[in-house]
Structure 1
């Protein structure tokens, strides 16, 4: 059965793959991006009448609320996919506070603001929310503290939203992918290079080996991580399911992270401790 879905953060990776799968299954899709070039590329990729592309930034609450209101006014809204997110890599003990705020603003505050903006339409139309989290929300290692903190906070926020909105007929689902091939890795590596320079030679000396290891791992993940379509299939399944599941892990590494997160704290800390 065709329905209307708003996918936020649709320029690439999991968001773009979710748009592809939804359109292939006959749904009407509104896809949001920030950049005009990304909007034009998405429209060229899907030259058809079932896709509408809109632009907003999740940190611009007023602008986002206006656009989401226009989207909802066009017809019943069956689901919202909250997928916007950014990542950076740096030692949390030295991370500039403005950078920490930026990650939390996009990955947590912006996602909650999105749900708030869409909620009147979702309650009216019997819609649902699918939030894209990460295995980092369960298991946090060195150098990814800001990202892991944001995803852990997002998981908690999603749990609260689920408890609050279930009695009001709005299911809320958290999808937690493992390592996925996505341009987010390239963007994170670029941001990391800037941070290394910004933090100065002493921090670079103390954490340089960790940064180098993470950069190599990020480059590998961008190319050889699990295909984003695997996550998109799970998202679309929960959109179409008569009874969506509250929480979905995607990938063996995500299931492994969930298992490791249950280990005693000292054991887990030894496994995750920085080796350099």
Structure 2
């Protein structure tokens, strides 16, 4: 597929999968709009890619910033692709997770994804009409297929994103806009360190009786540490994202990583009773 000057928006582009995706797309000749939350991250991307990247200051909790950035993109012309990558992980037992933290998880990982999509759809529709193709790539998680303890809020957001993606896929099909859902397993990105830090901060708000979850919390922390060390490098996930934007007929939903493939298979073939027994906490 000849890219020309086709443009793509990548959210959450300052680190991890988002930054690696920006690198992969610029190598393919795309013009990239990259959302970041800090001006210094935007400057770093601009310096690194020498005119191929335009940073946008966006905080998904600030809906005005989303709308302002989207207006700028829409005014620039057709938008071939949108990569909804930005996200956070806020761990903790659902019994004691502050409802504000739960709401923030959904706002960033689910509501924010829809708002970005809604506000950029005019430019995506223009690209679909002029080029015959436009694509939205949703970055979900294997936690959107199988959920375990301590990441209930994150799993809720990713299960929701899977449903959101399926409905968008159906609704936008007549417009020629494809909606693709990628579900990575463990990727070695800063989301693990940020999740640990957020979890430690949230634990300070838990009541004393939350101590019954201490072993589950410790297990979740160990899993996060393993993910930061042993997860796939972000550029492996970025390769799948770039392929989703460039292949003539990409798969509409796919998992990324061996661990994700195993988990997806188990979620598909095991009876629920056995699956729940496997994911239940041991203490």
TM-score under structure 1 length normalisation = 0.96
1:76 Cα deviation (Å)?
2.2
- How much does 1:42 deviate? 2.2
Aligned residue for 2:182, secondary structure, equals: strand
Query: What do you get for the CA RMSD once the two structures are aligned?
Result: 1.2
Paired with 1:147 and 1:121, the residues of 2 have a C-alpha distance of 30
Cα distance in 1 for partners of 2:202, 2:277 equals 27
Q: Distance in 2 between matches of 1:178 and 1:245?
A: 17
2: distance between equivalents of 1:133 and 1:151? 6
Shift of 1:242: 2.0
In structure 1, which of residues 48, 65, 68 is the aligned counterpart of residue 67 of structure 2? 65
* Among candidates 253, 256, 267, match of residue 274 of structure 2: 267
- Find the counterpart in structure 1 of residue 82 from structure 2: 80
Q: Say whether the 8 Å CA contact 1:29–1:52 is kept in structure 2.
A: yes
Contact 1:5 1:30 (8 Å CA) reproduced: yes
Out of 247-256 and 151-160, give the one that drifted further.
247-256
Q: Distance in 1 between matches of 2:172 and 2:117?
A: 11
Q: 1:7 aligns with which of 10, 24, 28?
A: 10
Q: How does 1:50-129 map to 2 (within 5 A)?
A: 50-126=52-128, 127-129=134-136
Structure 1 residue aligned with 2:27: 24
Q: Residue 183 of structure 1 corresponds to which residue in structure 2?
A: 190
Query: Secondary structure at the residue paired with 1:199?
Result: coil
Residue deviations 1:106-139, cap 9 Å, x none? 1000001111011111011112100000000000
Whole-Å Cα distance in 2 between the matches of residues 85 and 78 of structure 1?
22
The equivalences for 1:190-269 within 5 A come to 190-203=197-210, 205-262=211-268, 263-269=270-276
- Gap regions ≥5 residues in structure 1: none
One of 138, 148, 160 as aligned partner of 1:153: 160
CA distance in 2, matches of 1:54, 1:191: 25
Say how many residue pairs are matched: 274
Indicate if the aligned counterparts of 2:25 and 2:242 stay in contact, CA closer than 8 A: yes
Structure 1 residue ranges, 4+ long, deviating more than 3 angstroms after superposition: none
| Contact 2:73-2:120 within 8 A present in 1 as well | no
Q: SS of the residue aligned with 2:137? A: strand
How many angstroms apart in 2 are the aligned matches of 1:43 and 1:220? 32
- Is 2:47 the partner of 1:39? no
